[in-house]
């Protein structure tokens, strides 16, 4: 059976949709070939072959025979011979898995060259320089990628020859120079591997295929997959693409380049790309020579430019997606060597989505679905505050990936990683970056390079990660050995603070003022399409009028959770709150509650007004009361210090005398500076001190009284409301009077009163009685009826099981999935996240953190029980979620599935949730547990 298995597909045959099998690059090479674009002929070895190879550390049976058969076919098509001394076939060997991982695995070009085929190539083309140029490139790439010889060894030799010849760039080297470079390279290989360079093209191919397969398990690739959670069902193994070489280094009618069908930094519909005349392969990306923008090709090579524009058009029309493609021009003929969906920042994704719909290229659904909801968070990235800027930039580079960031300079990726782990903010500053720097990107706030263009490695990777990046800041000279960077006279050392603006390419010394991102017109349009499609409403958790404003700006359709206790934490309220808690009896407590009432009412009026006509769900007091009191330790220290005050003052009195024994001069200066101060101290009234001491002691007593073994499960939420009904009464009155006030002034309000921590219907019923009583009073005082809803949070396991009873009293449920997850797992969140949860996640005991990602299998089932129970007695029941998971896209899909009416999350996540809600609706049918 396995003998028969097909491991190899020609570009003319392979299924362009099957990226899992052929890798993204291979599948697209097949697809492009089959839609008639000019791709050099070639074939793909499948990812299955890779997995089999990794499994048994050898090629699977039959694979190499198939490779040989396809090679023979290639020879036929191209009329060339692999290893031929007259007309040699040269190929590139390229990796490519289902997910594009920029620069993760390196391509070998010009494979098939050796001393014999080199002569043939030179003879054939009559171009000696080209021959040696190709040869030395091949030796270096093969040496580095397949034989593991460090790149620097080659670079060093090349630099030496350049120096000897006084050459500024590679282009200044003659064919004789390049011949010398090649022979030096061969010596490097001999020296480093202890073996001669393999001359036999078949041996070269064999080694190269192995190297590609092995690179799947290389550290960089493994790290990348871990960081981006690329699991086996997403990408498993790499394919190998064997592709006939075409040459961009055959003279001035040849070139190589990289382009995007639209500008990936802004999303603007303009052709964007860079090319280099007489160059090969990665020259553009590596930033060795500075490439030209494609627009210049219009003048330099007008016919080719027209072809390139046509290629751009055909790619976009076919893929209905912005394409990032690679091309080579050999003697005036344009070849496309690769295409893939363009990686863009969120801003560009949004803009292209909206514009492609307007151009009629895609429909709205596609426009929404092509954007990952979580990526919208990038849009709220900080930018430089231009108006507050005082300083001038110290360097100017290319705006490679937008957003601004400040941090300390670090010159290499390892150090970036270690500093990042310490929690430092870092800017990775390099001459240029390479794939092996990837861990430095993860750790850095931003990336700055002194070389390279907008399609350089640094630019592409940073854009993919949504990190600010400036490339090609040529005024900066980086010296990694010295760990210094030089800009003219200025010297920057490791640890110095700089700021980069990836939107403008500017670099500043020190930290610069940043402003939050804002909504563009395109985002507003896109999210309005999302809102039209979504059936889940997106609300925000917001506690103050200011938060409410922000939530509204983010497009929240109401407040799903307004935590009243946060209102009490402001400095003008906390003393009242503390006094209320300290009250010895309910009469005294009422006195302070009466003072809190107007304050809270005013807060509600403002929040209701900001959100009108959307609903605002007010949660009654939830946390244990001692959270408002100072901590026991602080109090104890304060009390000790107050007690010691007389002794301290006495000590200060004697300080001058004591010092005189030691150092008369010091004593004199103490006397001078302490004199009036001490006089003041003596005026401190014992009575005041004692009074304060007494107060502190009272508070300490109260703190000890209210202390709980397990506050999370203690005297909080509705339990507090039932034992101290006057507190809830005040809050309910504040809500209802605010409602009445709003109605009076013509504001359309939709308040909802929500009770936390309910576990039995009796609790809810008690609170409802308070509501009924206050409502009657307020209605009669104002002379009109009030519209509002009364409901409960569902955050206790018992409440889920008794939801049918609760729904007889409640008009709505709101799942408090933070507490409900704690209760379901019996994990206290802080302890779990600090102690064992990371270990659980890393070792696959739990896949996600249940406090970020809703645990659909456990907590989700409880929710389902609660929803079914609740709607069985109250079909009108409105149900939502207000835990942090309410802003998490995958969790939102579950919420859609179980039939929630709304999700509520923190304000900055509202845009994410709006798009996720549209996705959830569009992909509803695919959802399964």
Mark 208-225 as b/e (b = at least 16 C-beta within 10 Å): bbbbbbbbbeeebbeebb
Kind of pairing between the strands at 490-493 and 484-487? antiparallel
Q: Does 824 bind Mg ion (CB under 5 A)?
A: no
CA distance 163 to 177: 11
Q: Which is nearer to ligand ADP, 91 or 922 (CB)?
A: 91
Residue 109: name its binding partner from ligand ADP, Mg ion, none (Cβ under 5 to 8 Å by kind).
ligand ADP
Q: Does 338 bind ligand ADP (CB under 6 A)?
A: yes
Q: Mention every residue, 6+ apart, whose C-beta is less than 8 A from residue 906.
A: 540, 541, 884, 887
CA distance 882 to 594: 30
Q: Does 499 bind Mg ion (CB under 5 A)?
A: no
CB of 223 to ligand ADP, least distance (A): 17
Q: Which is nearer to ligand ADP, 280 or 564 (CB)?
A: 280
Q: Does 338 bind Mg ion (CB under 5 A)?
A: yes
Kind of pairing between the strands at 446-449 and 469-471? parallel
Q: Which is nearer to ligand ADP, 94 or 626 (CB)?
A: 94
Q: Residue 133: helix, strand or coil by DSSP?
A: helix
Q: Does 248 bind Mg ion (CB under 5 A)?
A: no
Token pair recorded at residue 71: 């090679």
Crossing angle of helices 521-533 and 346-358, in 10° steps, is 70
Cα→Cα distances 424→315, 513, 787, 910, Å: 43, 18, 52, 29
Number of amino acids touching ligand ADP (CB under 6 A) = 17
H or E segment to which residue 129 belongs: helix 128-141
| Binding piece for ligand ADP, criterion CB under 6 A, among 14-22, 56-64, 163-171, 241-249 | 241-249
**Which among 30, 882, 895, 905 is annotated as catalytic?**
882
Q: Is the dihedral of CA 725, 727, 729, 732 positive or negative?
A: negative
CB of 301 to Mg ion, least distance (A): 21
Residue 40: name its binding partner from ligand ADP, Mg ion, none (Cβ under 5 to 8 Å by kind).
ligand ADP
Q: Which is nearer to ligand ADP, 29 or 881 (CB)?
A: 29
**Gyration radius of the chain over CA positions:** 35
Q: Which is nearer to ligand ADP, 96 or 505 (CB)?
A: 96
CB 444 within 8 A of CB 410: yes
Q: Which is nearer to ligand ADP, 458 or 892 (CB)?
A: 458
| Binding piece for Mg ion, criterion CB under 5 A, among 117-125, 151-159, 332-340, 684-692 | 332-340
Helices assigned H by DSSP within 87-127:
115-125
CA distance 53 to 75: 26
Q: Which is nearer to ligand ADP, 141 or 416 (CB)?
A: 141
Q: Which of 50, 246, 346, 562 binds ligand ADP (CB under 6 A)?
A: 246
Residue 127: name its binding partner from Mg ion, ligand ADP, none (Cβ under 5 to 8 Å by kind).
none
Q: Residue 537: helix, strand or coil by DSSP?
A: strand
Q: Does 737 bind ligand ADP (CB under 6 A)?
A: no
Residues 109-168 that bind ligand ADP (CB under 6 A): 109
Q: Is 882 a catalytic residue?
A: yes
Residue 593 CB neighbours (<10 A): 23
* CA torsion, ordered 398, 401, 406, 411, to nearest 10 deg: -70
CB of 330 to ligand ADP, least distance (A): 8
- Distance, CA of 506 to chain centre: 23
Residue 281: name its binding partner from Mg ion, ligand ADP, none (Cβ under 5 to 8 Å by kind).
ligand ADP
Residues 84-113 that bind ligand ADP (CB under 6 A): 92, 94, 103, 107, 109
Place of tokens 């957003």: 403
CB of 226 to Mg ion, least distance (A): 21
CA distance 105 to 95: 6
Q: Does 243 bind ligand ADP (CB under 6 A)?
A: yes
Token pair recorded at residue 906: 């923190």
Place of tokens 């500076």: 673
CA distance 202 to 193: 19
CB of 208 to ligand ADP, least distance (A): 12
Cα of first residue to Cα of last residue in the chain, in angstroms, is 35
Q: Which of 46, 238, 249, 256 binds ligand ADP (CB under 6 A)?
A: 256
Cα→Cα distances 664→658, 671, 683, Å: 10, 10, 28
Q: Which is nearer to Mg ion, 103 or 717 (CB)?
A: 103
Residues 275-334 that bind ligand ADP (CB under 6 A): 281-282, 326, 328
CA distance 369 to 491: 48
| Binding piece for Mg ion, criterion CB under 5 A, among 101-109, 127-135, 243-251, 625-633 | 101-109
Q: Does 261 bind Mg ion (CB under 5 A)?
A: no
CB of 854 to Mg ion, least distance (A): 38
Q: Does 328 bind Mg ion (CB under 5 A)?
A: no
Q: Which of 182, 337, 409, 823 binds ligand ADP (CB under 6 A)?
A: 337
What is the number of H-type helices and E-type strands within the chain?
Answer: 36, 31
Q: Which of 24, 40, 560, 624 binds ligand ADP (CB under 6 A)?
A: 40
CB of 336 to Mg ion, least distance (A): 11
| Binding piece for Mg ion, criterion CB under 5 A, among 97-105, 164-172, 666-674, 811-819 | 97-105
Indicate the burial class of 255 (C-beta count within 10 angstroms; 0-12, 13-18, 19 or more). Answer: buried
CB of 433 to Mg ion, least distance (A): 12
Q: Does 103 bind Mg ion (CB under 5 A)?
A: yes
Token pair recorded at residue 284: 């553009």
Cα→Cα distances 436→96, 224, 239, 433, Å: 17, 10, 21, 8
CB of 141 to ligand ADP, least distance (A): 9
Q: Give the number of residues written for the chain.
A: 929
Q: Mention every residue, 6+ apart, whose C-beta is less than 8 A from residue 242.
A: 42, 43, 44, 45, 67, 70, 71, 74, 91, 92, 93, 94, 205
Q: Which residues pair with 619 in a beta bridge?
A: 563, 754
Place of tokens 């099981």: 801
Q: Which is nearer to ligand ADP, 250 or 413 (CB)?
A: 250
Helices assigned H by DSSP within 761-888:
761-782, 797-801, 803-809, 817-825, 829-831, 837-842, 859-873
Residue 246: name its binding partner from Mg ion, ligand ADP, none (Cβ under 5 to 8 Å by kind).
ligand ADP
Q: Which is nearer to ligand ADP, 269 or 307 (CB)?
A: 307
Q: Which is nearer to ligand ADP, 222 or 666 (CB)?
A: 222
CA distance 427 to 410: 6
Residue 245: name its binding partner from Mg ion, ligand ADP, none (Cβ under 5 to 8 Å by kind).
ligand ADP
Q: Does 240 bind ligand ADP (CB under 6 A)?
A: no
Q: Does 8 bind ligand ADP (CB under 6 A)?
A: no
Residue with the CB atom nearest Mg ion in the bound state: 338
**Which among 439, 457, 626, 919 is annotated as catalytic?**
457
CB of 282 to Mg ion, least distance (A): 6
Q: Which of 29, 37, 74, 245 binds ligand ADP (CB under 6 A)?
A: 245
Token pair recorded at residue 350: 């949004």
Q: Which is nearer to Mg ion, 107 or 419 (CB)?
A: 107
CB of 319 to Mg ion, least distance (A): 16
Q: Is 457 a catalytic residue?
A: yes
Number of amino acids touching Mg ion (CB under 5 A) = 3
Cα→Cα distances 867→549, 816, 864, 891, Å: 31, 13, 5, 16
Report the catalytic residues: 457, 882
Per CB under 6 A, residues contacting ligand ADP are: 40, 92, 94, 103, 107, 109, 243-246, 256, 281-282, 326, 328, 337-338
Per CB under 5 A, residues contacting Mg ion are: 103, 326, 338
């Amino acid at each position: 059976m396995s003998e028969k298995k097909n491991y190899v597909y020609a570009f003319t045959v392979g299924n362009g949709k099957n990226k899992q099998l052929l890798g993204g690059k291979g599948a697209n090479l097949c697809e492009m070939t089959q839609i008639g674009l000019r791709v050099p002929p070639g074939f793909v070895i499948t990812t299955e072959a890779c997995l089999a190879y990794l499994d048994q550390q050898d090629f699977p049976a039959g694979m190499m025979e198939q490779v040989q058969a396809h090679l023979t076919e290639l020879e036929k098509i191209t009329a060339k011979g692999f290893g031929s001394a007259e007309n040699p076939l040269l190929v590139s060997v390229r990796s490519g898995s289902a997910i594009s991982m920029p620069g993760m695995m390196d391509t070998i070009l010009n494979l098939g060259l050796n001393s014999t085929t080199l002569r043939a190539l030179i003879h054939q083309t009559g171009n000696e320089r080209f021959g040696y140029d190709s040869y030395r490139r091949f030796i270096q790439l093969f040496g580095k990628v397949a034989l593991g010889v460090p790149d620097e060894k080659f670079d060093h030799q090349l630099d030496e020859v350049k120096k000897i010849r006084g050459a500024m760039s590679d282009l200044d080297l003659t064919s004789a120079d390049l011949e010398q470079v090649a022979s030096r390279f061969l010596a490097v290989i001999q020296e480093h591997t202890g073996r001669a360079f393999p001359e036999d093209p078949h041996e070269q191919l064999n080694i190269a295929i192995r190297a590609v397969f092995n690179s799947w398990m290389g550290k960089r690739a493994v790290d990348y997959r871990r960081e981006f959670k690329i699991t086996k069902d997403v990408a498993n193994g790499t394919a190998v693409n064997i592709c006939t070489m075409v040459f961009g280094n055959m003279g001035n009618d040849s070139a190589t380049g990289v382009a995007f069908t639209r500008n990936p930094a802004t999303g603007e519909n303009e052709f964007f790309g860079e090319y280099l005349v007489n160059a090969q392969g990665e020259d553009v990306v590596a930033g060795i020579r500075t490439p030209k923008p494609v627009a210049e090709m219009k003048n330099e090579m007008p016919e080719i430019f027209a072809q390139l524009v046509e290629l751009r058009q055909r790619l976009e029309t076919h893929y209905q997606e912005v394409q990032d493609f690679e091309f080579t021009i050999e003697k005036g003929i344009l070849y496309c060597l690769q295409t893939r969906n363009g990686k863009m920042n969120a801003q560009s994704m949004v803009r292209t989505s909206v514009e492609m719909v307007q151009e009629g290229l895609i429909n709205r659904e596609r426009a929404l679905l092509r954007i990952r909801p979580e990526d919208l968070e990038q849009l709220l990235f900080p930018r430089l505050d231009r108006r507050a800027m005082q300083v001038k930039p110290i360097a100017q580079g290319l705006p490679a990936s937008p957003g601004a960031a400040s941090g300390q300079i670090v010159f290499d990726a390892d150090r970036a990683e270690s500093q990042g782990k310490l929690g430092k903010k870092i800017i990775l500053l390099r001459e240029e970056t390479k794939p092996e720097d990837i861990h430095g990107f993860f750790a850095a706030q931003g990336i700055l390079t002194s070389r390279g263009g907008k399609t350089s490695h640094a630019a592409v990777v940073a854009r993919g990660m949504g990190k600010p990046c400036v490339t090609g800041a040529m005024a900066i000279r980086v010296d990694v050995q010295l760990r210094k960077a030089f800009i003219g006279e200025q010297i920057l050392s490791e640890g110095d603070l700089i700021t980069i603006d990836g939107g403008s390419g500017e670099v500043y010394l020190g930290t610069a003022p940043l402003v939050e991102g804002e909504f563009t017109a395109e985002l507003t349009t896109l999210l309005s399409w999302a809102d039209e499609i979504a059936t889940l409403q997106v609300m925000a958790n917001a506690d103050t009028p200011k938060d409410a404003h922000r939530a509204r700006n983010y497009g929240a359709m109401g407040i799903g959770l307004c935590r009243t206790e946060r209102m009490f934490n402001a400095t003008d309220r906390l003393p009242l709150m503390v006094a209320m808690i300290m009250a010895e009896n309910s009469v005294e407590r009422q006195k302070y509650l009466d003072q809190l009432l107007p304050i809270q009412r005013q807060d509600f009026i403002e929040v209701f007004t900001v959100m009108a006509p959307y609903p605002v769900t007010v949660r009654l007091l939830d946390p244990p009361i001692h959270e408002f009191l100072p901590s026991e330790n602080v109090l104890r220290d304060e009390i000790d210090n107050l007690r010691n005050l007389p002794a301290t003052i006495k000590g200060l009195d004697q300080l001058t005398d004591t010092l005189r024994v030691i150092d008369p001069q010091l004593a004199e200066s103490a006397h001078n500076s302490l004199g009036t101060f001490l006089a003041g101290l003596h005026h401190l009234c014992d009575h005041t001190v004692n009074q304060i001491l007494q107060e502190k002691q009272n508070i300490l007593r109260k703190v000890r009284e209210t202390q709980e073994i397990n506050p999370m499960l203690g005297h909080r939420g509705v339990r507090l409301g039932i034992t101290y009904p006057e507190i809830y009464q005040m809050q309910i009155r504040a809500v209802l009077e605010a409602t009445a006030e709003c109605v009076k002034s013509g504001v359309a309000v939709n308040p909802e009163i929500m009770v936390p921590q309910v576990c039995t219907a009796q609790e809810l019923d008690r609170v409802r009685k308070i509501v009924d009583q206050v409502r009657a009073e307020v209605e009669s005082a104002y002379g009109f009826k009030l519209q509002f809803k009364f409901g409960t949070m569902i955050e206790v396991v018992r409440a889920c099981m008794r939801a049918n009873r609760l729904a007889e009293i409640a008009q709505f449920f709101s799942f408090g999935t933070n507490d409900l997850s704690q209760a379901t797992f019996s994990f206290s969140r802080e302890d779990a996240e600090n102690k064992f949860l990371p270990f659980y996640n890393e070792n696959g005991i739990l896949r996600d953190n249940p406090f970020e990602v809703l645990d659909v299998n456990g907590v989700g089932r409880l929710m389902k029980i609660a929803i079914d129970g609740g709607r069985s007695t109250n079909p009108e029941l409105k149900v939502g979620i207000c835990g942090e998971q309410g802003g998490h896209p995958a969790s939102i899909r579950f919420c859609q599935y179980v039939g929630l009416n709304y999700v509520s999350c923190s304000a900055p996540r509202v845009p994410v949730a709006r798009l996720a809600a549209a996705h959830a609706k569009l992909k509803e049918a695919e959802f399964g547990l």
